[in-house]
Chain A
Amino acid sequence: MADVMLVLLIIFMITAPLLASGFVATMPQGVNLITDAEDPDDVILGLDKDGAYYINTRPYTRTAAEAELTRIFAARTRDKILFVKAHQELKMAAIQEAIAMARRAGVRVIAAVTDQEFGTEPTVSTSRPGAN
């Protein structure tokens, strides 16, 4: 038993700082969502409940975030997709501003990260259109 506890302790010791320093937001929920496999190369723009910007969980100021996104997407030749994790209660004004910024940086597709509403199943295909 002590072994199990030690392993758990080590794991929580590793994950705790990640959780504390990273970005926290409640994703909006939906039913008919697209299932997408995570990729380490994905660019994730976070918008927390105060509207602060995070790129891949690192905090950025507005101008720094735009410069960083421009740098990332200028170097990228494959699909220019930006994953947006935004707090569900944010006003669209904040989202539109982020999208306008992403658009200036050359992003073509915004993927809003969502959570499956508890106890629901999608009624339509969960793959992205054109994928099959």
Chain B
Amino acid sequence: MAMATSGGGGMNSDINITPFIDVLLVLLVIFMIAQPMLRKVLELQVPLEEQSQATQTPSTNIVLEIKADGSYAVNTQPVDSARLGARLREIYDPRPDKLLFIKADNGRAFSEVIKVIDVARGAGVQVFGLAPPTAEEAAAAAAAAAARP
């Protein structure tokens, strides 16, 4: 643009907008990244406080248990981890209520429980419930919580 004046013609008074465009593009990219904050979740229904001391869950419910050694059991029947998805599909395909209760041993990792919920969702389960702890489990948890600072 500086060269244009050598012709001796009229003054070129255009503002150089290139840096503005640079800044605007960077801001655009940043807002594009920041805007659609969608996250991925897995939802678990929590038993009501007053229902937590329920004596026995009705027999029609399906309870998936993650045992202390990491093995799975559906309604106390052991299930191989590789067959879990297929087994749940077998159970839930004919059932109208797609509800599964999860009961996990306290020693297992959170990611394992999430993995099980994930597999079950893939097998057609829609609603997940956390099996309420039994009275002695609740007492043990309360004692452990009290021992912590």
Give the nearest-CB partner of A47 in chain B.
B110
Main secondary structure of the interface of B (DSSP, over half): mixed
Q: Hey, which chain A residues are within 8 Å of B44, CB to CB?
A: 99, 109-112
Main secondary structure of the interface of A (DSSP, over half): mixed
Given A93-B107, A93-B144, decide whether A30 and B42 contact each other with a Cβ distance below 8 A. yes
Report the Cα distance A1→B119, complex, angstroms.
49
Report the Cα distance A34→B45, complex, angstroms.
14
Report the Cα distance A91→B104, complex, angstroms.
10
Q: CB distance A31 to B110 under 8 Å?
A: no
Interface residues of A in 82-105 (CB under 8 A from B): 83, 86-97, 99-100, 102-104
Q: Hey, which chain A residues are within 8 Å of B148, CB to CB?
A: 62
Q: CB distance A7 to B110 under 8 Å?
A: no
Distance between A97 CB and nearest chain B CB, rounded to angstroms: 6
Given A91-B107, A128-B43, decide whether A7 and B23 contact each other with a Cβ distance below 8 A. yes
CB 8 Å contact bits of B22-62 with A (1 = contact, 0 = none): 11001100100000011111111111110010000000000
Distance between B74 CB and nearest chain A CB, rounded to angstroms: 18
Given A109-B46, A114-B41, decide whether A28 and B26 contact each other with a Cβ distance below 8 A. no
Does A115 count as interface, using CB distance less than 8 angstroms? yes
What is the total number of residues of chain A having a CB less than 8 Å from a CB of chain B? Answer: 52
Give the nearest-CB partner of B46 in chain A.
A103
Give the nearest-CB partner of A104 in chain B.
B49
Q: CB distance A91 to B145 under 8 Å?
A: no
Does A41 count as interface, using CB distance less than 8 angstroms? no
Most buried by A among B37, B52, B108, B114: B114
Q: CB distance B38 to A1 under 8 Å?
A: no
Does B78 count as interface, using CB distance less than 8 angstroms? no
